[in-house]
Chains A and B, each alone.
Chain A
Amino acid sequence: MPELVDALKAAVGAGTVPGPDLRLALIQTDDASVLRKAGRALAKLTDPDGRLRPLRLSVVAACTVGPLESLLRACLVGAGACPAIEVTPYGAFELTLATGGFDRSSELLLCLLDESYFLPDDLDVTAPQAAGPYLEERLAQLSGLLGAALRGSEATLVLHTVPLPRALRDTVLSLRARGALTRLWHRLNAGLLELAEEHPQVQVVDLVGLLAESQVAARDQRLHKYADLPYTDGALLILATEVRRIAQARSGLSRKVLALDLDNTLWGGVLGEVGPQGVELGGLYPGKSFADLQRTVSRLREQGVVLVLASKNDPDPVDEALRRHPAVLLRPEAFSVSMVNWAPKAGNLRKAADALGLGTDSFVFMDDSDFERGGVAAELPEIAIIDASGEPAQLVDSLVRHGWFDVVELTGTDRRRPELYRARGLRNDFSGGFSRAEDYLKALDLTVAIEPVTRFTVARAAQLAARTNQFNLTGVRFDEAATAAMIDAPDRLALTVSVTDRFGDEGLVGALWVERTARRWSVLNLALSCRVLSRGVEFAIVGRLAELAEQAGAQVLEGRFTPSAKNSVAEGFWEKAGFVPEGGGVFTFAPGRMPDPTPSWITRVDSAGSAKSVDRVESEEQ
């Protein structure tokens, strides 16, 4: 990710603070080599307008710190802090703590330790348990030093558990003795964790436990021998990330609101397509993964995280599914604000923030759609965004791993917060309008290809007819045979619609079936996957159809709408495209004499081949 480092350098060079999008990218980057470069680039960061929260941090180490300072800086800037970091002199760990020889105005004091601080030089490998009293004494000495360092200070002191090096473990040959050494070591680490109970200002990071679940090695033997550097960049990044989370919780930089999509995020599948009984939730995989996510979200709510529902759906089926599906753990009352409508999500989130009286910078938004995440990121870059696409088994991890919602301690208000905010949210009305985020749509580079159905695409077209319920204008479901018969029929035309944007290829997402006479073209049905709704694709389709009809000499293009229980999203479509209602669900348009409804942000690809084949059919008819 050299772009991230370059963008940070550019911001620092211009004397400005990196924008919220860059800061969020810092938090969501796992690559230690990128972050150490980012941290170096941020060393000259200035914040003349005071947009970041100043934070003083001192590092006191019993070993070499390596790139820890750069990694800490990158992580802390990511959380919205402007850090001033002091690394106290090498080789003076105990003296620095005992005499308070660090920046006394520091809010955070990080102690970096390795096993050599605790192990006796003359460890008896035949009877390691004999070292027990020595380890206890070292721990007690450390506790005394911490007490001395914290006297008269309000700093939070951060310690960590210490890994037992594998080479030492393997040097002990007797299984029993090795077990004894391992036990001693776990007791030592338990003792380190207990220091947080002894000293209220101490926080202990379980580095050992975190390393066990990560892919990085604790140590690079070369750097340990060469430079007394006990931890790899990856291990130091784990520590720096935890320090960031502590700083964030301590400074009120954590987030309070979790806005969630429904379809393919809180359950598998699309409610509008499969109905409340058909969504994947609970039971075996993959439903189990979505149930686990709901359980985790519910646990976050118990700890004060305010939930917002942000779903493009009709409200009634959502309400029914949330109330009646037996595996749903997040009932409608769990959400303080519910934004279930077809309006752009960025606007919905802004309204939710207004209703809650909170800033959008306290929001985290989780959605599986590249389009929705992209739209929110473009309009509200301060919102932290979680990608819920891909493997559902990873959903819980994606939600919690960055520690967006950490707090130092839970208060009674935290636990009551979702209810308080729910009451506030209920006082507001969210009918949600159809406003267009045109700038975002323009930046999407939407390309729509409308082509006659072929032997290769007929199956997909029939599948769209069968499965699409929401944007399905007449409910007439042409099957594969009926659609294939239209390929060569002079009085019929079946077209498919493919969409690509800068996020990638959506594939074949729509189909339409048309009856043609010399004077009148009638759309028998138009089905469009709800994945691409609200981008204006449906208007580009009509634009192309009007063009084809005009080329064929037709005077009238006719559309129909037959309401169903699920297609309310398509209601009013023909009027919005410029058609005139004729009554009885029939709408008409004069090709060539009425304006092309294709939106300005869509590029239509009307391949020469497809146009020709339509013309040919027409000329045969005439």
Chain B
Amino acid sequence: MGNTVDSVGAEVLEVLGEVLSQDPEALRAQPVLAGYDWDSLASLEALAQLESAFGVRLDLRAFQAVRTVEEMAALVAATLNS
């Protein structure tokens, strides 16, 4: 309980930055994933890295619906809290 977008945000940003080869700050400024090479390979890599970094299994339908970095952090936080 008690995981929030704020508490997981930095690590989510770091993982996505690594996967998309973007500086985390740039990603924070422009958080729409479709603005980068967010293709099926990148999204699979992000899924695997987020799941191993946080020790969770994300709901794939919710994962597919994610559009921005904040939404991804919210999904991770919600999964951690569930």
Contact = CB atoms under 8 A, between A and B. Distances in A.
B49 interface: yes
A226 B44 CA distance: 9
Interface string A195-232: 00000000000000000000000000011001101000
A66 B40 CA distance: 10
Interface string A64-95: 00110000000000000000000000000000
B46 to A, nearest CB: 12
A33 B40 contact: no
A36 B48 contact: yes
B60 interface: yes
Given A222-B60, A226-B60, A33 B52 contact: yes
Contacts of A229: 44
Interface string A38-81: 00100000000000000000000000001100000000000000
Contacts, number: 22
Interface string B15-56: 000100000000000000000000010001101110010000
Contacts of A233: 48
B44 to A, nearest CB: 6
A39 to B, nearest CB: 11
A66 B57 CA distance: 17
Interface residues of A, number: 12
Contacts of B60: 222, 226
A37 B44 contact: no
B44 A33 contact: no
A223 B44 contact: yes
Contact of B40 (A36, A37, A67, A227): A227
Nearest to A34: B52
B15 to A, nearest CB: 10
Contacts of B57: 222
A233 B51 CA distance: 12
Contacts of B40: 227
B49 to A, nearest CB: 7
A243 to B, nearest CB: 20
Nearest to B59: A222
A5 to B, nearest CB: 10
A223 B41 CA distance: 12
A233 B44 CA distance: 12
Contacts of A227: 40, 44
B37 to A, nearest CB: 14
Nearest to B53: A33
Nearest to B64: A226
B49 A66 contact: no
A226 B62 CA distance: 13
Contacts of B49: 33, 37
Interface string A423-438: 0000000000000000
A614 B4 CA distance: 59
B34 to A, nearest CB: 18
A7 to B, nearest CB: 16
Contacts of A66: 44
Contacts of B44: 66, 223, 226-227, 229
Nearest to B44: A227
A567 to B, nearest CB: 54
B14 to A, nearest CB: 11
B41 to A, nearest CB: 9
A565 B18 CA distance: 63
A227 B49 CA distance: 16
Contacts of B47: 223
Nearest to A9: B18
A226 B51 CA distance: 16
B62 to A, nearest CB: 12
Contacts of A67: 45, 48
The 4 closest A-B pairs by CB, nearest first: A33-B52, A222-B60, A226-B60, A227-B44
22 contacts: A33-B48, A33-B49, A33-B52, A36-B45, A36-B48, A37-B18, A37-B49, A40-B18, A40-B45, A66-B44, A67-B45, A67-B48, A222-B57, A222-B60, A223-B44, A223-B47, A226-B44, A226-B60, A227-B40, A227-B44, A229-B44, A233-B48
Given A37-B18, A40-B45, A227-B40, 5 more contacts: A33-B48, A36-B45, A36-B48, A67-B45, A226-B60
